[in-house]
Structure 1
Amino acid sequence: MHADLRRTYGEEYLRDGITHPISHVLDLAFGYWCAAVVADAIDDQALVDDLAPWADGWPAAFNPETGLMAKSTFYEGGPWNYSFRLLHDMAARIKVAGGEDRFVELLDRFFGYGAPAVVQPGLRPGRDELERGYELGRFEGMNNEPDMEAPWAYHYAGRPDRTAEVVHAAVHQMFGTGPGGLAGNDDSGAISSWYVWASLGLFPVAGQNVVLLHPPAFEEAEIRTAESEIFIRTSGFRAPSRDTAPQYIQSVRLDGVEVPQTWLTMSDLHRGGELHITLGDTPSDWGSSLRPPSRPSVGATALATGVTK
């Protein structure tokens, strides 16, 4: 059995902390981290101490030479599709990739910046055609959940402008009101909920009290929460479509107070108020010197302070 696994995965199979499919390494580490957060909330420090080291096991899933997931099997995708999830320690994840510049280069390749357009698969693509697509290592849109978070990975490298471009293209080119207007199998609401959050200019990070900001697709919106209402207002808004260029955030204010970073907390949204976003047609330096929280200490309260580059 081990010989067969060696042939399939290489000697990496024998390393401690590795399980296959290797994406499970990320799943398990994130699960341990979330459990540690809950343990901290109920003041069970012994359990926190037990779980925290397991939450640090995720780097074993990556090949530091490529900056991508290590060799393994992947469901409905390949290593590129699974490599840009929003982990609980994105700062360390970016270091594994070789630093911010290298990480942005990988993301740019994944999203096809500077590359020829991809030939879309036929009506009933065969195995060979699908495998050629996986080997290309390109963003699959909304075909599968593992890379739905990838556009916001740019935030953690100080490039919210790239997020704005990718999300604009996905929202306005992959969705519509006619037949085929939903980009794939909704999977119990996964794709439609992605569209709602992306259109609002908000993206909640799973398991963390963090909501990433990007240009909304509507001039105004209102969200009713259990505690209050949050009103999203814009200045400089230009109605978007599949044929228009993206807009970029120039500045953000929450109840008149400047928000220099590219995120809020979910607690901020639940408290309600007015979120005012000023938009423009060219990228600005908004948010480029601050990074969203990476692996905030279990029980940390300073999620909104960020990390200055």
Structure 2
Amino acid sequence: MNQLVKKQISAKTVVGVAVAAALGMLSLSAFYTVDEGHVGIVKRFGEAQQQVNPGLHFKIPVADQVQKLEIRTRKNVEKLKAATHEQMPVDIDVSINWTVIRSEAFELYRNYGGLDQFENRILDPRLRSAAKDAIARYKAEEIVQNRGQVIGKIEEIVIQTMKEFPVKLDSVQIENLGLPQKYLQSIETKQTEKNLAAAEKHRLERQKLEAMREVNTAEAKRDAEKARADGNAYAITTEAQAESEAIRIKGLAEAEAMQKKAEAINQSPLLVEYVRAQNWDGKMPSTMMGADQNVLWNMQSVKHNP
């Protein structure tokens, strides 16, 4: 009897522990978290019910499931074959950065499923089509030289075809562009010729500049010599004019002095005698004219005669 009771009590204990464990697991499964950069889509028996933001949330165990959607920027890369405007085949790797719009993530999930399905069904086919369309508008040389313009055209087309979907397209890039080897060789040859032509043009322009520099130097030297000659001529002319003016002034002064002296002599006969006296050397004249100025006397003979 005692053993039977013990078995019953033991069985009840096991059942109680199992129930408690099950209830504990259910209570734990009722809570879940959504990480930053994601939103949660709550599904009840498989049907999408609502969208929740990052953080801790509660759900009905068993009935509810949560699908997490990334809303950070994602990058898709497509490898494809295309043809240029002149029908040259090219292999191209094109990528696009895109983001799910947070407020419309629920509609995207309900209409298209998860992000992988949206990429496979919607985004990737349109990206491939836009890349082929854009590549076909340009010649191979234009694609090589103006890659940014081609990227802009791909981006323009894909944005236009994706404008009705709840995503934001950030940027398109051409990751790799494979052209035929013969064409690459022809481009290299052509570029080499352009470089040589540019180098020759630079050399000719440099020679032209050097020639112009020599001409300018010669002209500057000529102008300097002319200026120096003009300066010398001007100095000589100025000096001659100054000397001529000095002579003229001196002549006028002398003439004026002589005129004043003559006027003074005319006005004062005594002045004549005074001048003679100043100029006399103290000797008597050796000859003297007679009164009638016809006889010339020898004063020395007269002086020594008793």
TM-score class normalised by the smaller sequence: under 0.3
Task: Return the structure number with greater strand share.
Answer: 2
Task: Specify which structure has the bigger relative contact order, considering alpha-carbon pairs within 8 angstroms and separated by 6 or more residues.
Answer: 1
Q: Which protein has the larger Cα radius of gyration, Structure 1 or Structure 2?
A: 2
Normalized against structure 1, the TM-score is what? 0.16
Normalized against structure 2, the TM-score is what? 0.16
